[in-house]
């Protein structure tokens, strides 16, 4: 029986997949299973999230657990017995993350001790029910929308089960509980301010969270001024972004045109060097460089394949920069020397080193 309930600020799903009954009467072990489906769903449905029908279904592939011996058995026998199997299917359009539990439903006085219940899930190791935390047999399973997984459970009595357990039963149920994994769909507006310019203002752009957009290629004009680029600060003297550059900030942002008066004698240009590691931008250095002189900045970086390393460099205002990899750092394992260079600085610029995983040379 399915029941969908939509409530704000709650997200939970509980599914009782099947009940497993095991009895120990004399020295005869009786095993039976039956399907019992109970499905309760709760969905968060608030602005800024994509939601849909939340559903995980389970279907039994076998009705009984057959043991090779009617008596308590060795682990080598129980772990190869015919399993109870079931399929979990995510029929919704959201991913699910959940735990799978084996929970006792009987009273303590008539239930076989959990320390004598042995089990094996899928191809995992043999364990006892009493050793499980909250009865969890599989933890933090993530199932993508539209996907299915098969689960197999083997249950048997430990060879060390004492006669004191004769006449008792073990009743249990397999329970799935978890929650939907919601995807935030925030959208930001990137606006332009000519900041004294007289040409047409570029149209605002929309940007989704976590995505990069290409800024407008439109170059604004202003009488007796040279356009240097765009900045998030209205009174900046150097530009942070050039026309057509990638923009990654996740926020509503206004970009201001930055101007330099024509005929201005420049004594030095500002060179700002920053790094972009997985979308996080951090300034590394800022220097004033006389026109046409070279800029160079050396630093160290990891060489490990699973670490972020400098892979490329780009600069605003048509400045051309390169990265040079100068070998391992003396006395430091898995570290290398790197130098960012501009051979001839002809404009104030912001250079960004992109860090990525993989080979950098």
Main-chain dihedrals φ then ψ at residue 250, nearest 5 degrees: -95, 80
Residues 280/179/132/15 CA torsion (nearest 10 deg): -160
pLDDT class of 286 with cuts at 50, 70, 90: confident
Residue whose C-alpha is closest to residue 170's, from 270, 32, 282: 32
Mention the CATH class of domain 2-181: mainly beta
Residues 7-36 have a mean pLDDT of: 35
Give percent of the chain above pLDDT 70. Answer: 77
Cβ(277)–Cβ(355) under 8 Å?
yes
pLDDT class of 189 with cuts at 50, 70, 90: very high
* List of E strands, 2-94: 2-6, 12-25, 28-43, 56-60, 84-90
Domain range list for the chain: 2-181, 187-357
pTM of the model: 0.43
Q: Which two tokens stand for residue 300?
A: 């160290």
Question: Beta strand 148-157 with 117-121: parallel, antiparallel or unpaired?
Answer: antiparallel
pLDDT class of 190 with cuts at 50, 70, 90: very high
pLDDT class of 69 with cuts at 50, 70, 90: very low
Per-residue pLDDT tens over the stretch 126-175: 999 999 998 899 888 888 878 888 888 888 888 988 888 777 777 777 77
Per-residue pLDDT tens over the stretch 199-235: 889 999 999 887 888 899 888 999 999 888 899 999 9
In sign, the C-alpha dihedral spanning 233, 235, 238, 244 is positive
d(CA 90, CA 328): 49
Main-chain dihedrals φ then ψ at residue 218, nearest 5 degrees: -70, 130
Residues 244-264 have a mean pLDDT of: 88
pLDDT above 80 for 44: no
Average pLDDT, the chain: 76
* 336 to 121, 282, 303, 353: CA distances (angstroms): 46, 20, 6, 15
């Amino acid at each position: 029986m399915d029941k969908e309930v939509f409530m704000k600020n709650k997200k939970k799903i509980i599914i009782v997949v099947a009940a497993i009954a095991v009895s120990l009467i004399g020295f005869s072990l009786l095993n039976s299973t039956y399907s019992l489906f109970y499905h309760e769903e709760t969905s968060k449905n608030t602005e800024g999230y994509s939601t849909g029908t939340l559903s995980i279904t389970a279907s039994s592939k076998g009705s009984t657990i057959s043991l090779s011996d009617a008596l308590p058995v060795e682990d080598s026998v129980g772990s190869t017995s015919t399993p109870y199997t079931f399929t979990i299917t995510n029929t919704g359009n959201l991913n699910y993350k959940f735990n799978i539990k084996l929970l006792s439903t009987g009273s303590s006085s008539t239930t076989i001790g959990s320390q004598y219940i042995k089990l094996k899930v899928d191809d995992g190791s043999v364990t006892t029910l009493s050793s499980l935390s909250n009865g969890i047999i599989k933890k933090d399973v993530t199932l993508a929308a539209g996907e299915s997984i098969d689960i197999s459970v083997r249950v048997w009595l430990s060879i060390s089960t004492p006669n004191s357990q004769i006449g008792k039963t073990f009743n249990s149920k397999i329970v799935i509980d978890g929650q939907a994994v919601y995807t935030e769909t925030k959208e930001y507006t990137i606006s332009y301010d000519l900041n004294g310019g007289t040409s047409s203002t570029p149209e605002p752009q929309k940007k989704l969270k976590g995505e990069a957009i290409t800024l407008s290629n439109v170059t604004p004009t202003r009488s007796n001024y040279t356009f240097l680029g765009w900045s998030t600060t209205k009174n900046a003297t150097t530009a942070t972004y050039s026309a057509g550059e990638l923009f990654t900030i996740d926020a509503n942002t206004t970009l201001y045109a930055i101007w330099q008066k024509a005929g201005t004698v420049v004594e030095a240009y500002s060179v700002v060097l920053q790094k972009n590691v997985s979308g996080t931008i951090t300034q590394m250095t800022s220097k004033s460089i006389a026109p046409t002189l070279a800029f160079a900045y050396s630093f160290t970086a990891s060489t490990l394949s699973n670490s972020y390393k400098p892979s490329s460099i780009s600069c605003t205002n048509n400045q051309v920069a390169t990265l040079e990899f100068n070998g391992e750092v003396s006395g430091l394992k898995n570290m290398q020397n790197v130098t960012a260079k501009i051979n001839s600085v002809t404009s104030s610029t912001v250079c960004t080193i992109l860090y990525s995983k993989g080979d950098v040379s």
